[in-house]
């Protein structure tokens, strides 16, 4: 089965994990397994556990990584169809309580955007959906037709940085009084009508920011990230590393602040210095985020907004 997706910051993400033979690794966002394949090529033995909440990613991995799954080749791969918010619990089911490395490549995969029926893209007409996990009940149709005007405006502003969030929210509420907004193209039309003509001519597609915002809300993308990173840090063995690729500033802020929290020690109130024995949990491998090379920027448009942060468990 084909899974057309070009991995971003491929070598930077995996090489910075410094993979060790025989180690246990986690790919929190398996997708098409581009990062996974490269990691597996660097290990002569060991284990990789790949998480994805998207059934299509899991199904394609079953056929594309069959040899690793059956154990015909070393190292072995195991797949988990679940949200990475259940990291610790799912690893415990596999008898794993410590890992040597984990990486996250956040956001959507190309098939999610390119398969019209997934309803993620303003480029194709489809039912409003945008669920990464097809078994989830809540979808973009429900969000667009059930959130009140303020909730809609808040989502568009917070997750899409959409300047015209209030105008778009008002127009959505007006329109759905007549009939429910069912498709991506209906929503695109409403967004276009809500944005003043002059503003529509500059920047990218007028629906880009709103679609991104709705997707983030539908999939609770920011809600689950920090707790999962904290679980991952707790699971890492000493010397183990965590790499995280983000594609938008709110995600990057969560990663940066979580790494900061665990790489600095707080001086307890009333104490002049850090008492002996209190040590940070993490060491930052790179102070500034790693971004794509000129070559990658030229080849892969998605790499433009990518930022990679890496830390090591002490």
Ligand X SMILES: C[S@@+](CC[C@H](N)C(=O)[O-])C[C@H]1O[C@@H](n2cnc3c(N)ncnc32)[C@H](O)[C@@H]1O
Question: Residue 127 and residue 119: Cα distance in Å, rounded?
Answer: 6
Q: 205-234: which residues touch ligand X (CB under 6 A)? A: 224
Q: Is 246 in the site for ligand X (CB under 6 A)?
A: no
Residue whose structure tokens are 């990691």: 39
When asked if residue 132 is in the footprint of ligand X (CB under 6 A), the reply is yes
- State the angle between helix axes of 184-194 and 165-178 in degrees (0 to 180), rounded to the nearest 10: 130
* Position 7 contacts ligand X (CB under 6 A): yes
Please say which residue, 121 or 165, places its beta carbon nearer to ligand X.
121
Distance CA 107, CA 130 (A): 12
Q: Is 263 exposed, middle or buried (0-12, 13-18, 19+ CB in 10 A)?
A: middle
Q: Which of 49, 57, 172, 173 binds ligand X (CB under 6 A)?
A: 57
In the complex, minimum distance from the CB of residue 278 to ligand X, in angstroms, rounded to a whole number = 32
**Whether 200 contacts 206, CB under 8 Å:** yes
Cα separation of 40 and 205, whole Å? 38
Please report whether residue 119 would count as binding ligand X according to CB under 6 A: no
| Site membership for ligand X, residue 54 (CB under 6 A) | yes
Tell me: does residue 83 bind ligand X (CB under 6 A).
yes
303 binds ligand X, rule: CB under 6 A: no
**For strand 307-313 and strand 236-246, is the pairing parallel, antiparallel, or unpaired?**
antiparallel
* Piece of 32-40, 121-129, 258-266, 283-291 that binds ligand X (CB under 6 A): 32-40
| Stretch touching ligand X by CB under 6 A, among 48-56, 185-193, 197-205, 289-297 | 48-56
Rounded Cα distance between 16 and 57, Å, is 25
Of these, 29, 60, 165, 258, which contacts ligand X (CB under 6 A)?
29
Rounded distance between C-alpha atoms, residue 156 and residue 264, angstroms: 34
Residue among 9, 19, 26, 31 that touches ligand X (CB under 6 A): 31
Residues that bind ligand X (CB under 6 A): 5, 7, 29, 31-35, 51-54, 57, 83-84, 105, 107, 109, 132, 224
């Amino acid at each position: 089965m084909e899974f057309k997706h070009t991995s971003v910051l491929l070598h930077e993400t995996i090489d910075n994990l410094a993979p060790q033979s025989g180690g246990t690794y986690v790919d929190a966002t398996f997708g098409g397994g581009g990062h996974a394949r490269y990691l597996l090529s660097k290990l002569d033995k060991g284990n990789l556990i790949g998480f994805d909440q998207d059934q299509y990613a899991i199904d394609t991995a079953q056929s594309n990584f069959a040899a690793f799954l059956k154990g015909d080749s070393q190292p072995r791969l195991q797949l988990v169809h679940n949200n990475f918010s259940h990291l610790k619990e799912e690893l415990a089911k596999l008898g794993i309580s410590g890992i040597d490395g984990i990486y996250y490549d956040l956001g959507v995969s190309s098939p999610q955007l390119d398969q019209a029926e997934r309803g993620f893209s303003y480029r194709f007409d489809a039912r409003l959906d945008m669920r990464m996990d097809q078994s989830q009940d809540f979808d973009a149709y429900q969000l667009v037709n059930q959130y009140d005007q303020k909730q809609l405006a808040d989502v568009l502003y917070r997750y899409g940085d959409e300047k015209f969030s209030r105008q778009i929210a008002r127009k959505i509420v007006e329109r759905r009084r007549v009939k429910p907004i069912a498709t991506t193209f209906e929503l695109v039309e409403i967004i276009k009508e809500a944005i003043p003509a002059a503003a529509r001519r500059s920047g990218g597609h007028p629906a880009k920011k709103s679609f991104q915002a709705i997707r983030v809300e539908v999939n609770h993308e920011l809600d689950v990230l920090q707790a999962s990173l904290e679980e991952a840090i707790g699971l890492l063995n000493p010397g183990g590393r965590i790499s995280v690729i983000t594609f938008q500033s709110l995600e990057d802020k969560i990663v940066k602040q979580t790494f900061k929290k665990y790489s600095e020690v707080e001086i307890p109130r009333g104490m002049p210095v850090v008492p002996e024995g209190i040590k940070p949990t993490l060491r930052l491998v790179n102070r500034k985020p790693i971004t794509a090379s000129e070559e990658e920027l030229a080849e892969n448009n998605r790499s433009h907004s990518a930022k990679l942060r890496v830390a090591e468990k002490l």
